Amino acid sequence: MAKPAQGAKYRGSIHDFPGFDPNQDAEALYTAMKGFGSDKEAILDIITSRSNRQRQEVCQSYKSLYGKDLMTDLKSEISGDLARLILGLMMPPAHYDAKQLKKAMEGAGTDEKALIEILATRTNAEIRAINEAYKEDYHKSLEDALSSDTSGHFRRILISLATGHREEGGENLDQAREDAQVAAEILEIADTPSGDKTSLETRFMTILCTRSYPHLRRVFQEFIKMTNYDVEHTIKKEMSGDVRDAFVAIVQSVKNKPLFFADKLYKSMKGAGTDEKTLTRIMVSRSEIDLLNIRREFIEKYDKSLHQAIEGDTSGDFLKALLALCGGED
């Protein structure tokens, strides 16, 4: 169960490009977009093989050389799924996540799954950067946005996650046993008097949203010892709706974050239609963090590589760009 816990063991598929020259890339992109029709191959080739830090430098060089905004020029040349992917890669990660959260709250329905996926899996440092980016880009705090767009217990979970105050220490065995006891009570006893239930729910939320990952792994082990049940399985059985989905996502992320994303990618391509938004969001946001780990979990669980799944489910330039990010066949 306890797969890589520390960032050090996570490996992305995209790294700094050796021999990188931002001016050269800016010129190549300018040439690719000049005149009638664009050379999409050249655009893809450059953007999918540079790290995000390098892409930011290319943006600056482009502005210095041509007095134009690279993002604006790219927008006018590409469209649809490909544009969503390429423009996503061009954004600094915190601003990309902020935009995805904003999109998940826009319009008539809220995309709860996207909110959960992002807020339940980012580190404290990433969450803090997202908060800053959100405020900078939308002149409103992320907390205010979540408050006005969600409600009840689900809102409290999201806001708790969005504060980025998860503990970062190791495990505390006595505390873990107490926490496991709270989890056992809330998950096993649905018929406690209502007052009790609410305070227990709040305590359970606090445990899942603020304890460190190593500590929570210990809590889950203690829970099994105490109840003979797996906490994730029990949450699925005893809870419902968005609250259940949020708690399950936190537990899965704590147990094995790359597997959590592998499952999401698989679901985005399973069945008749493709969920391009989820597919794009995960490929863009994990490409420099743990996409190689996600690939390994994917092939282990589904008996086919992520590369094969993408090939069987997408086409054209969008397919080429996704495969470039995927970084190889397993």
Non-local (6+) Cβ contacts of 138 within 8 A are 98, 102, 145
Phi-psi bin for 164: left (phi > 0), alpha (psi -120 to 50), beta?
Answer: left
Non-local (6+) Cβ contacts of 236 within 8 A are 244, 248
Q: Where in the chain is the domain with CATH 1.10.220.10?
A: 22-78, 93-163, 173-255, 257-326
The pLDDT tens digits of the residues spanning 98-150 come to 999 999 999 778 999 999 999 999 999 999 999 999 999 999 999 999 999 99
Q: How many CA atoms lie within 13 A of 315 on its CB side?
A: 1
The pLDDT tens digits of the residues spanning 226-279 come to 999 999 999 999 899 999 999 999 999 999 999 999 999 999 999 888 999 999
pLDDT at 197: 67
CB atoms within 10 A of CB 144: 13
Homologous superfamily of the 22-78 domain (CATH): Annexin (1.10.220.10)
pLDDT at 106: 93
Whether residue 2 is predicted with pLDDT greater than 50 in this model: the reply is no
Instruction: Specify the CATH number for 257-326; select among 2.40.110.10, 3.40.605.10, 1.10.220.10, 3.90.79.10.
Output: 1.10.220.10
pLDDT at 189: 54
- Say if domain 173-255 classifies as CATH 3.40.190.10: no
Q: Tokens 């490996």 label which residue?
A: 11
d(CA 34, CA 43): 12
The pLDDT tens digits of the residues spanning 67-86 come to 999 999 999 999 999 999 99
Burial of 240 (0-12, 13-18, 19+ CB in 10 A): exposed
Whether residue 7 is predicted with pLDDT greater than 50 in this model: the reply is no
Mean pLDDT to the nearest integer, 296-322: 97
Instruction: Tell me which architecture the domain covering 93-163 has in CATH.
Output: Orthogonal Bundle (1.10)
